[in-house]
């Protein structure tokens, strides 16, 4: 039963993603692709005066797992610092997705938004 509930949640985020779109004048603007399956995410984000994520949006195309993960991730990271995001790993993403166990093929799909955000933050730090 729980598995069905989580699948429903993933499908809801896939069909009705939160924070879908592009921010104007973002601090972070990065596109990341999962070469394994072709999923692509374009992530834009703004940081507040304290360096925390204040707004984040995404667009792109991908499977249910990558789109749902991006939708949930954009809500999950609001208010987080770059250090907090840098510390995030697969267990954090799996918990965010409702504790689902992902097949090896789907791990990269679920991790795509986190990887994009980490690269975007690194790029921002280098340009500062």
Residue 7: its pLDDT value, please? 80
CA 67 → CA 4, 51, 77, 80, 100, distances in Å?
18, 26, 16, 21, 15
Q: Residue 3's pLDDT band (boundaries 50, 70, 90)?
A: low
Give the confidence band of 14 by pLDDT, cuts at 50, 70, 90.
very high
User: Strands, DSSP E only, in the chain?
Assistant: 28-33, 40-47, 53-61
- Domains of the chain by range and CATH? 2-127 (3.90.1010.10)
Residue whose C-alpha is closest to residue 32's, from 86, 109, 101: 109
Half-sphere exposure in the Cβ direction for 102 (13 Å, CA): 23
Q: Given pLDDT bands bounded at 50, 70 and 90, which one contains residue 35?
A: confident
- Percent over 70 (pLDDT), the chain: 95
The pLDDT confidence band at residue 32, using thresholds 50, 70 and 90, is very high
**SS3 readout for 75-94:** HHCCCCCHHHHHHCCHHHHH
pLDDT tens digits along 56-102: 999 999 999 999 999 999 999 999 999 999 999 999 999 999 888 88
Please state the rounded mean pLDDT for residues 39-52: 97
Burial 7-32 (b: 16+ CB within 10 A, else e): eeebeebbeebebeeebeebbbebeb
Residue 110: name the closest of 118, 101, 119 by CA.
Answer: 101
Give mean pLDDT, residues 114-128: 94
């Amino acid at each position: 039963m729980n598995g069905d509930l989580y699948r429903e949640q993933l499908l809801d985020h896939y069909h009705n993603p939160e924070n879908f779109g592009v921010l104007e004048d973002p601090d972070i603007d990065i596109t990341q692709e999962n070469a394994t399956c072709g999923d692509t995410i374009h992530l834009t984000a703004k940081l507040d005066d304290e360096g925390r994520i204040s707004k984040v949006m995404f667009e792109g195309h991908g499977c249910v797992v990558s789109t749902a993960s991006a939708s949930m991730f954009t809500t999950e990271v609001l208010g987080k610092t770059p250090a907090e995001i840098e510390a995030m790993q697969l267990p954090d993403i799996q918990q965010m997705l409702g504790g689902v166990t992902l097949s090896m093929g789907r791990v990269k799909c679920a991790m795509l938004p986190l990887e994009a955000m980490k690269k975007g933050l690194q790029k921002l730090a280098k340009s500062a």
